[in-house]
Amino acid sequence: MNRLQRSDLYSLEEYAEQRPEFRTRVIAHKKDRIVHIGPYVTVYFEDRLTIQYQIQEMLRIERIFEPAGIEEELSTYNPLIPDGSNWKATFMIEVPDAGERKKVLAKLIGIEDRVWVQVDGHSRVYAIADEDIERENEEKTSSVHFLRFELSPEMVSSASGGSTIGIGIDHDDYRQQVVPLEENFRRALVADLQ
Protein backbone atom coordinates (compact mmCIF):
# COMPACT_ATOMS: atom_id res chain seq x y z
CA MET A 1 0.00 0.00 0.00
CA ASN A 2 1.19 3.48 -0.81
CA ARG A 3 0.76 4.72 2.75
CA LEU A 4 1.24 8.34 3.66
CA GLN A 5 4.12 9.22 5.96
CA ARG A 6 4.70 12.34 8.04
CA SER A 7 7.18 13.46 5.39
CA ASP A 8 4.34 13.51 2.82
CA LEU A 9 2.39 16.09 4.79
CA TYR A 10 2.69 19.85 4.94
CA SER A 11 3.38 21.52 8.27
CA LEU A 12 0.49 23.67 9.52
CA GLU A 13 2.29 26.80 8.30
CA GLU A 14 3.09 25.29 4.88
CA TYR A 15 -0.47 24.01 4.53
CA ALA A 16 -1.90 27.46 5.27
CA GLU A 17 0.14 28.76 2.30
CA GLN A 18 -0.56 25.79 0.00
CA ARG A 19 -4.19 25.16 0.95
CA PRO A 20 -6.02 27.23 -1.72
CA GLU A 21 -4.10 25.63 -4.60
CA PHE A 22 -4.07 22.16 -3.02
CA ARG A 23 -7.81 22.31 -2.28
CA THR A 24 -8.59 23.36 -5.87
CA ARG A 25 -6.52 20.45 -7.19
CA VAL A 26 -8.21 17.93 -4.87
CA ILE A 27 -11.73 19.15 -5.72
CA ALA A 28 -10.98 18.73 -9.44
CA HIS A 29 -9.49 15.28 -8.76
CA LYS A 30 -12.56 14.17 -6.78
CA LYS A 31 -14.98 14.93 -9.64
CA ASP A 32 -14.04 11.62 -11.27
CA ARG A 33 -14.35 9.71 -7.99
CA ILE A 34 -17.86 10.65 -6.81
CA VAL A 35 -20.72 8.40 -7.92
CA HIS A 36 -24.37 9.12 -7.15
CA ILE A 37 -26.48 5.97 -6.83
CA GLY A 38 -30.17 6.82 -6.84
CA PRO A 39 -31.70 9.74 -4.96
CA TYR A 40 -29.94 9.38 -1.59
CA VAL A 41 -26.59 7.62 -1.91
CA THR A 42 -23.22 9.04 -2.89
CA VAL A 43 -20.04 6.96 -3.00
CA TYR A 44 -16.72 8.80 -2.73
CA PHE A 45 -13.90 6.56 -3.96
CA GLU A 46 -10.79 7.37 -1.96
CA ASP A 47 -7.15 7.36 -3.00
CA ARG A 48 -3.86 8.65 -1.68
CA LEU A 49 -4.56 12.28 -2.66
CA THR A 50 -8.08 12.40 -1.19
CA ILE A 51 -6.82 10.90 2.05
CA GLN A 52 -3.87 13.29 2.20
CA TYR A 53 -6.36 16.15 1.88
CA GLN A 54 -8.53 14.67 4.66
CA ILE A 55 -5.53 14.35 6.97
CA GLN A 56 -4.27 17.86 6.18
CA GLU A 57 -7.72 19.27 6.92
CA MET A 58 -7.96 17.38 10.22
CA LEU A 59 -4.52 18.58 11.28
CA ARG A 60 -5.49 22.16 10.37
CA ILE A 61 -8.89 22.11 12.10
CA GLU A 62 -7.58 20.42 15.25
CA ARG A 63 -4.28 22.38 15.20
CA ILE A 64 -2.32 19.13 15.48
CA PHE A 65 1.43 19.56 15.12
CA GLU A 66 2.87 17.13 17.68
CA PRO A 67 4.39 13.97 16.12
CA ALA A 68 2.16 11.63 18.15
CA GLY A 69 -0.99 13.43 17.01
CA ILE A 70 0.11 13.38 13.38
CA GLU A 71 0.88 9.65 13.61
CA GLU A 72 -2.56 9.05 15.09
CA GLU A 73 -4.22 10.77 12.11
CA LEU A 74 -2.05 8.77 9.70
CA SER A 75 -2.97 5.50 11.39
CA THR A 76 -6.67 6.44 11.29
CA TYR A 77 -6.79 7.42 7.61
CA ASN A 78 -4.09 5.32 5.90
CA PRO A 79 -6.34 2.22 5.86
CA LEU A 80 -8.67 4.11 3.48
CA ILE A 81 -6.04 4.18 0.72
CA PRO A 82 -6.51 1.38 -1.85
CA ASP A 83 -3.60 -1.04 -2.10
CA GLY A 84 -3.79 -2.24 -5.70
CA SER A 85 -6.25 -5.11 -5.24
CA ASN A 86 -9.23 -3.16 -3.96
CA TRP A 87 -11.28 0.00 -4.06
CA LYS A 88 -12.06 1.89 -0.89
CA ALA A 89 -14.83 4.37 -0.49
CA THR A 90 -16.77 6.61 1.82
CA PHE A 91 -20.49 5.81 1.47
CA MET A 92 -22.96 8.54 2.38
CA ILE A 93 -26.73 8.58 2.64
CA GLU A 94 -27.62 12.20 2.03
CA VAL A 95 -31.15 13.30 2.87
CA PRO A 96 -31.40 17.07 3.53
CA ASP A 97 -34.63 17.05 5.58
CA ALA A 98 -33.99 15.78 9.13
CA GLY A 99 -37.40 14.13 9.53
CA GLU A 100 -37.16 12.36 6.18
CA ARG A 101 -33.53 11.37 6.93
CA LYS A 102 -34.61 9.63 10.14
CA LYS A 103 -37.20 7.59 8.21
CA VAL A 104 -34.78 6.71 5.41
CA LEU A 105 -32.02 5.61 7.81
CA ALA A 106 -34.51 3.41 9.68
CA LYS A 107 -35.57 1.72 6.41
CA LEU A 108 -32.03 1.20 5.15
CA ILE A 109 -30.51 -0.85 7.98
CA GLY A 110 -27.90 -3.14 6.42
CA ILE A 111 -27.55 -1.17 3.18
CA GLU A 112 -23.77 -0.95 3.58
CA ASP A 113 -23.53 -4.72 3.13
CA ARG A 114 -25.58 -4.67 -0.07
CA VAL A 115 -23.36 -2.30 -2.07
CA TRP A 116 -21.56 -3.98 -4.97
CA VAL A 117 -19.12 -3.30 -7.76
CA GLN A 118 -18.81 -5.41 -10.87
CA VAL A 119 -16.12 -5.65 -13.52
CA ASP A 120 -17.73 -6.78 -16.76
CA GLY A 121 -17.48 -10.55 -17.19
CA HIS A 122 -17.03 -11.21 -13.46
CA SER A 123 -19.27 -11.69 -10.44
CA ARG A 124 -20.38 -8.83 -8.26
CA VAL A 125 -18.13 -7.97 -5.33
CA TYR A 126 -20.02 -6.88 -2.22
CA ALA A 127 -18.54 -4.31 0.11
CA ILE A 128 -16.76 -5.17 3.32
CA ALA A 129 -18.18 -2.38 5.45
CA ASP A 130 -17.10 -0.53 8.56
CA GLU A 131 -14.05 -2.54 9.49
CA ASP A 132 -13.14 -0.03 12.18
CA ILE A 133 -16.41 0.24 14.17
CA GLU A 134 -20.06 -0.75 13.87
CA ARG A 135 -22.10 2.12 12.49
CA GLU A 136 -25.67 0.91 12.81
CA ASN A 137 -28.04 -0.34 15.47
CA GLU A 138 -31.45 -2.02 15.51
CA GLU A 139 -33.18 1.34 14.97
CA LYS A 140 -31.23 2.83 12.07
CA THR A 141 -28.13 2.74 9.93
CA SER A 142 -25.55 5.51 9.95
CA SER A 143 -25.49 8.11 7.20
CA VAL A 144 -21.75 7.41 6.72
CA HIS A 145 -19.99 4.08 6.14
CA PHE A 146 -16.52 3.08 4.99
CA LEU A 147 -16.36 0.38 2.33
CA ARG A 148 -13.72 -1.91 0.84
CA PHE A 149 -14.25 -3.89 -2.37
CA GLU A 150 -11.67 -6.68 -2.64
CA LEU A 151 -10.99 -7.74 -6.24
CA SER A 152 -9.51 -10.95 -7.61
CA PRO A 153 -6.37 -10.74 -9.79
CA GLU A 154 -8.57 -11.59 -12.79
CA MET A 155 -10.90 -8.68 -12.02
CA VAL A 156 -7.95 -6.31 -11.67
CA SER A 157 -6.58 -7.52 -15.02
CA SER A 158 -9.95 -7.14 -16.77
CA ALA A 159 -10.57 -3.66 -15.36
CA SER A 160 -7.04 -2.59 -16.28
CA GLY A 161 -7.57 -4.02 -19.75
CA GLY A 162 -10.60 -1.84 -20.44
CA SER A 163 -13.60 -3.80 -19.15
CA THR A 164 -16.53 -1.72 -18.01
CA ILE A 165 -17.24 -1.29 -14.30
CA GLY A 166 -20.60 -0.92 -12.60
CA ILE A 167 -21.78 -0.18 -9.09
CA GLY A 168 -25.08 -0.72 -7.39
CA ILE A 169 -27.10 -1.51 -4.31
CA ASP A 170 -29.51 -4.40 -3.92
CA HIS A 171 -31.05 -3.60 -0.53
CA ASP A 172 -34.77 -4.52 -0.38
CA ASP A 173 -35.70 -0.85 0.13
CA TYR A 174 -33.09 0.65 -2.18
CA ARG A 175 -32.36 -1.02 -5.50
CA GLN A 176 -30.27 1.24 -7.68
CA GLN A 177 -27.32 0.86 -10.02
CA VAL A 178 -24.99 2.78 -12.29
CA VAL A 179 -23.90 0.43 -15.07
CA PRO A 180 -21.57 1.05 -16.69
CA LEU A 181 -19.70 3.85 -15.01
CA GLU A 182 -18.69 6.63 -17.35
CA GLU A 183 -15.16 6.37 -18.74
CA ASN A 184 -13.69 9.12 -16.51
CA PHE A 185 -14.83 7.21 -13.40
CA ARG A 186 -13.57 3.91 -14.82
CA ARG A 187 -10.12 5.43 -15.49
CA ALA A 188 -9.94 6.85 -11.95
CA LEU A 189 -10.76 3.45 -10.43
CA VAL A 190 -8.30 1.63 -12.68
CA ALA A 191 -5.58 4.02 -11.49
CA ASP A 192 -6.23 2.72 -7.94
CA LEU A 193 -5.27 -0.77 -9.12
CA GLN A 194 -1.77 0.23 -10.23
For residue 131, what are the CA distances in angstroms to 8, 84, 97, 138?
A: 25, 18, 29, 18
Q: With 70 as the cut, is the pLDDT of residue 12 above it?
A: yes
CA distance between the termini of the chain: 10
Q: Rounded distance, CA 100 to CA 147, Å? A: 24
User: How far is the C-alpha of 32 from the C-alpha of 44, rounded, in Å?
Assistant: 9
Q: Distance between CA 151 and CA 104 in Å, rounded?
A: 30
Average pLDDT of the chain to the nearest whole number: 95
Residues 6+ away with beta carbon under 8 Å from 69: 59, 62
Averaged pLDDT, 158-163: 98
pLDDT at res. 52: 98
What per-residue confidence (pLDDT) applies to 133?
A: 67
- Judged by average pLDDT, the poorest of 12-26, 41-55, 95-109, 132-146 is 132-146
Q: Quick check: 166 pLDDT over 70?
A: yes
- The 8-class DSSP code of residue 11 comes to P
C-alpha Rg value of the chain to the nearest Å: 17
Confidence (pLDDT) at 119: 98
Question: Which of the pair, 138 or 84, is modelled with greater confidence?
Answer: 84
Dist. CA 193–CA 159, nearest whole Å: 9
- Predicted structure pTM score: 0.93
In tens, the pLDDT along 104-157 reads 999 999 999 999 999 999 999 999 998 776 777 888 999 999 999 999 999 999
Out of 30-34, 59-63, 99-103, 136-140, pick the least confident: 136-140
Cβ-contact 110, 171 below 8 angstroms? yes
Alpha-carbon span 29 to 77, nearest angstrom: 18
Please report the pLDDT score of residue 64 as a whole number.
95
Q: Is pLDDT at 1 greater than 60 in this prediction?
A: no
